[in-house]
Amino acid sequence: MGLKTVEQYKESLRDGRVVYYKGERVEDVTTHRELSVCVDTMALDYEMSESPQYRDLAVVYDEGLDQEISRYYHLPKDGNDLLRQFDLIVASTRLGDGFIPLAHDIGADALNAISITANMMGNKEYIERIENYRTYLKQNDLAVVSAVTDVKGDRLLRPSDPRQAHSDYYVHVVDQNSKGIIVRGAKVHISGAAYSNELFVIPCRAMTEADKGYAVAFAIPTNTPGLKQVCRPFHSRITPLEFPNSRPIRVHSDSLVIFNDVFVPWERVFLCGEWKFAATMVYHFALMHRRTACAYRIPMTEQLLGVAQAIAEYNGVAKAPHVQEKITDILIYLQTLRSMSYSACLDYVTYGGIPVPNPVTTNIAKYHFADQYHSIVKIIQDLAGGLLVTAPTYKDYQLPELHEDISKYLGAHAGMPTEQRLRMFDLIRRLTGADRETIALHGEGSLQAQRMTIYAEARKVLAECKKMVEEQAGIE
Ligand SMILES: Cc1cc2nc3c(=O)[nH]c(=O)nc-3n(C[C@H](O)[C@H](O)[C@H](O)COP(=O)(O)OP(=O)(O)OC[C@H]3O[C@@H](n4cnc5c(N)ncnc54)[C@H](O)[C@@H]3O)c2cc1C
Q: ipTM beyond 0.85?
A: yes
Question: Which of 249, 274, 299 is at the close of a domain?
Answer: 274
Q: The domain that contains 61 carries what CATH number?
A: 2.40.110.10
End-to-end CA distance of the chain: 66
Specify if 476 maps to a domain: no
Domain match, 186 and 91 both: yes
Specify if 421 maps to a domain: yes
Distance CA 262, CA 260 (A): 6
pLDDT value, residue 449: 84
pLDDT along the chain (476 residues), means of 10: 94 98 98 98 98 97 96 96 97 97 98 98 98 98 98 97 98 98 98 98 97 98 98 93 95 98 98 98 95 96 96 94 94 97 97 95 96 93 89 97 97 94 95 71 76 87 90 89
Domain match, 451 and 310 both: yes
Domain match, 190 and 219 both: yes
- Residue 337 CA to ligand 1 center (angstroms) comes to 22
Specify if 117 maps to a domain: yes
pLDDT value, residue 4: 97
Number of domains within the chain = 2
pLDDT value, residue 447: 73
Among 189, 231, 289, 300, name the best residue to mutate to test ligand 1's pocket (greatest count of ligand atoms within 8 A of Cβ).
189
Question: Which of 274, 306, 335 is at the close of a domain?
Answer: 274
Domain match, 201 and 287 both: no
Q: Does the CA dihedral 281-282-285-291 come out positive or negative?
A: negative
Domain match, 176 and 247 both: yes
- Residue 256 CA to ligand 1 center (angstroms) comes to 13
Domain match, 285 and 255 both: no
- Residue 157 CA to ligand 1 center (angstroms) comes to 15
Q: The domain that contains 344 carries what CATH number?
A: 1.20.140.10
Nearest atom in ligand 1 to 435's CA: 1
- Residue 411 CA to ligand 1 center (angstroms) comes to 43
Domain match, 105 and 209 both: yes
- Residue 445 CA to ligand 1 center (angstroms) comes to 5
Specify if 29 maps to a domain: yes
pLDDT value, residue 441: 66
- Residue 149 CA to ligand 1 center (angstroms) comes to 7
Among 149, 198, 200, 282, name the best residue to mutate to test ligand 1's pocket (greatest count of ligand atoms within 8 A of Cβ).
149
Residue bearing the CA closest to ligand 1, atom 48: 446
Residue bearing the CA closest to ligand 1, atom 53: 439
Domain match, 254 and 328 both: no
pLDDT value, residue 259: 98
Specify if 473 maps to a domain: no
Protein residues whose CB sits closer than 6 Å to any atom of ligand 1: 106, 145-149, 152, 155-156, 189-191, 254, 438-439, 442-446, 448
Nearest atom in ligand 1 to 187's CA: 11
Domain match, 354 and 244 both: no
Specify if 474 maps to a domain: no
Domain match, 86 and 164 both: yes
Nearest atom in ligand 1 to 448's CA: 47
Range of the domain at 243: 6-274
pLDDT value, residue 437: 67
Domain match, 186 and 224 both: yes
pLDDT value, residue 435: 64
Specify if 322 maps to a domain: yes
Domain match, 347 and 455 both: yes
Residue bearing the CA closest to ligand 1, atom 46: 446
Specify if 186 maps to a domain: yes
pLDDT value, residue 439: 67
- Residue 365 CA to ligand 1 center (angstroms) comes to 19
Question: Which of 216, 249, 274 is at the close of a domain?
Answer: 274
Q: HEC states along the chain?
A: CCCCCHHHHHHHCCCCCCEEECCEEECCCCCCCCHHHHHHHHHHHHHHHHCCCCHHHHEEEECCCCEEEEHHHCCCCCHHHHHHHHHHHHHHHHHCCCCCCCCCHHHHHHHHHHHHHHHHHCCHHHHHHHHHHHHHHHHHCCCEEEECCECCCCCCCCCCCCCCCCCCCCCEEEEECCCEEEEEEEEEEEECHHHCCEEEECCCCCCCHHHHHHCEEEEEECCCCCEEEEECCCCCCCCCCCCCCCCCCCCCCEEEEEEEEEEEEHHHEEEECCHHHHHHHHHHHHHHHHHHHHHHHHHHHHHHHHHHHHHHHHHCCCCCHHHHHHHHHHHHHHHHHHHHHHHHHHCCEEECCEEECCHHHHHHHHHHHHHHHHHHHHHHHHHHCCHHHHCCCHHHHHCHHHHHHHHHHCCCCCCCCHHHHHHHHHHHHHHCCHHHHHHHHHCCCCHHHHHHHHHHHCHHHHHHHHHHHHHHCCCC
**How does pLDDT run across 227-266, given as a tens digit for each residue?**
999 999 998 999 999 999 999 999 999 999 999 999 999 9
- Residue 189 CA to ligand 1 center (angstroms) comes to 9
